[in-house]
């Protein structure tokens, strides 16, 4: 388990990137809540480490992030790409404890 940052380090409805066991992880915070998602920071289409800079929102009842480069959508909970069923971002489990964000 890694304690990566304070919850308040992530402005509501935005993302940041954390280094976790040598991997780049994109963390997104839903609104002004304690709900935080973690997916790989690597954009498989754009081939760059940018996912944390994507815009988040909902598609139906799924939370999603849109790639900042070419706008593919990914399910924040499962990492699945909405446009290409063969593509999936790695995901991590996140805990928020005492105002800190932890990656499992």
Partner 1 sequence: MSKKRIVVVGNGMVGHNFINTLVTSDHASEFDIITFAEEDRLAYDRVQLSKYFSGSSADDLALTTEAEYQSQGVIYTLNDKVVEIDSHAKTITTASGRKEGYDKLVLATGSFPFVPPIPGKDQDHCLVYRTIEDLENIEASAKVSKTGVVVGGGLLGLEAANALKEAGLETHVVEFAPRLMAVQLDEGGGKLLRRKIEDLGVQVHVEKNTKEIVAGEECRYRMNFADGSFLETDMILFSAGIRPQDELARQFGLDIGERGGIVVNDYCQTSNDDIYAIGECALWDNKIYGLVAPGYQMAKVAFNHIVDSLITHQEPALAFQGADMSTKLKLLGVEVASIGDAHGHTAGSQSYVFNDDIAEVYKRLIVSADGKKLLGAVLVGDSEAYGTLLQLMLNDMDIPGNPASLILPASDGAEPVGLGVSALPETAQICSCYDVTKGDISKAVQGGCCTMPDIKGETKATSGCGGCTALVKQVMDAEMEALGMEVNTDICEHFSYTRRELADVIRVKGYSTFAEVLANEGNGGCGCEICKPAIGSILASFNNEYVLKDEHIGLQDTNDIFLGNMQKDGTYSVVPRVPGGEITPEGLIAIGEVAKEFDLYTKITGGQRIDLFGAQLHELPTIWEKLIDAGFETGHAYGKSLRTVKSCVGSTWCRYGVLDSVSMAIALENRYKGLRAPHKIKFAVSGCTRECAEAQSKDIGVIATETGWNLYVCGNGGMRPRHADLFATDLDDETLVKYIDRVLMFYVRTADRLQRTSVWMENMEGGLDYLKDVVINDSLDICEDLERGMTRVVGAYQCEWKTTVNNPERLKRFQHFINADEEDKNLFYVRERGQRRPATEAERIELVELASNPVAGGE
Task: Give the binding site for partner 1 (CB under 8 A).
Answer: 4-5, 9-14, 16-19, 24, 27, 30-31, 42-43, 46, 48-50, 53-61, 63-64, 66, 68-69, 71, 73
Q: Are 22 and 47 in contact (CB under 8 A)?
A: no
Which residue carries 């976790």 as its tokens? 20
Of the candidates 102, 18, 11, 70, the one whose C-alpha atom is nearest the C-alpha of residue 26 is 18
Dist CA 71 CA 9 (whole Å): 25
10 or 94: CB nearest partner 1: 10
Buried-exposed string 32-52: b where 16+ CB fall within 10 A, e elsewhere: eeeebbbbbbbbbeeeeebbb
- Report the residue number, 34 or 46, with the smaller CB distance to partner 1: 46
Minimum CB separation from partner 1 for residue 60, in Å? 7
Q: Nearest distance from residue 85's CB to partner 1, in Å? A: 14
Nearest distance from C-beta of residue 55 to partner 1, angstroms: 4
Q: Which is nearer to partner 1, 9 or 88 (CB)?
A: 9
């Amino acid at each position: 388990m890694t304690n990566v940052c304070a919850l308040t380090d992530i402005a509501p409805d935005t993302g940041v990137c954390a280094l976790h066991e040598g991997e780049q992880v994109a963390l997104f915070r839903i609104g002004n809540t304690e709900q935080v998602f973690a997916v790989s920071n690597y954009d498989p289409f754009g081939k760059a480490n940018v996912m944390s800079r994507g815009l988040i929102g909902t598609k139906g009842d799924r939370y999603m992030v849109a790639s900042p480069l070419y706008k593919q959508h990914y399910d924040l909970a499962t990492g699945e790409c909405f446009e290409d069923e063969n593509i999936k971002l790695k995901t991590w489990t996140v805990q928020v404890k005492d105002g800190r964000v932890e990656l499992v």
